Amino acid sequence: NAGVTQTPKFRVLKTGQSMTLLCAQDMNHEYMYWYRQDPGMGLRLIHYSVGEGTTAKGEVPDGYNVSRLKKQNFLLGLESAAPSQTSVYFCASSSLAGATYEQYFGPGTRLTVT
Amino acid sequence: AQSVAQPEDQVNVAEGNPLTVKCTYSVSGNPYLFWYVQYPNRGLQFLLKYITGDNLVKGSYGFEAEFNKSQTSFHLKKPSALVSDSALYFCAVRPGSSNTGKLIFGQGTTLQVKP
């Protein structure tokens, strides 16, 4: 049981390049989330999904797109990377069962945009 | 606006002494409250949660937290700190009105435990 995994762990992009971050969970969780973590700002929600085929905007969605074609996967895309998107990105998932909404986090992806 | 505040950027404690990391919140409805810990270059790990019931909740690694509804606080505590407790701690809250599982996170408090 791997929990939540993220690919890649590190990436350096040039301004204007695109990339996709992959999040996978093997806990059969309904809900999945993408956050970014910046110093002194805690975690900010980018996009989230409450089920396969559904996505919604979070607190800071601009410049990002997401897709959830399969229940276990949640993809975060950057179409045209900007230096302001330099950050550590975390994926998380949670279960509808029990309705406690405890989130389980992946190890993170460190992205640098030059 | 709904929010979570961790008023201290950093807390310094000597090993063996008790520690407190503070958290206050402002949300609608009855909140679900959480504490997470993040070690360097790692993801967040769940420590404990308050949903309902006893205001004092116990969690992993000897941590506990006290829910105080009148003060809208959920402070994290440990009777005797260890050097290995040094990490970044996040308080989070799920608003009572939310059915999406979304959490609101505080900005984090760095705990430094010195030998």
Tell me, letter by letter, the H, E, C secondary structure of chain A.
CCCEEEECCEEEECCCCCEEEEEEECCCCCEEEEEEECCCCCEEEEEEEEECCEEEECCCCCCCEEECCCCCEEEEEECCCCHHHCEEEEEEEECCHHHCCCCEECCCEEEEEC
Closest residue in A to B31 (Cα–Cα): A100
Residue B99 structure tokens: 């059915």
pLDDT at residue B1 tops 90: no
- Using a CB–CB cutoff of 8 Å, tell me whether A41 touches chain B: yes
Q: CB B44 to CB A50 under 8 A?
A: no
Are A90 and A105 in contact, with CB atoms under 8 Å apart? yes
pLDDT at residue A112 tops 80: yes
Mean per-residue pLDDT for B10-26? Answer: 97
pLDDT at residue B27 tops 90: no
Strand partners, B87: B111
Question: Tens digits of per-residue pLDDT, A18-67?
Answer: 999 999 999 999 999 999 999 888 899 999 999 999 999 999 999 999 99
The pLDDT value recorded for residue B76 is 98
Beta-carbon count within 10 A of A47 CB:
23
Q: How far apart are CA B52 and CA B47, in angstroms?
A: 16
pLDDT at residue A100 tops 90: no
- Using a CB–CB cutoff of 8 Å, tell me whether B108 touches chain A: yes
Q: CB B34 to CB A102 under 8 A?
A: yes
Residue A5 structure tokens: 């995994």
Residue B105 structure tokens: 């996170």
Percent of chain B with pLDDT over 70: 97
Question: Tens digits of per-residue pLDDT, B35-76?
Answer: 999 998 889 999 999 988 899 999 999 999 999 999 999 999
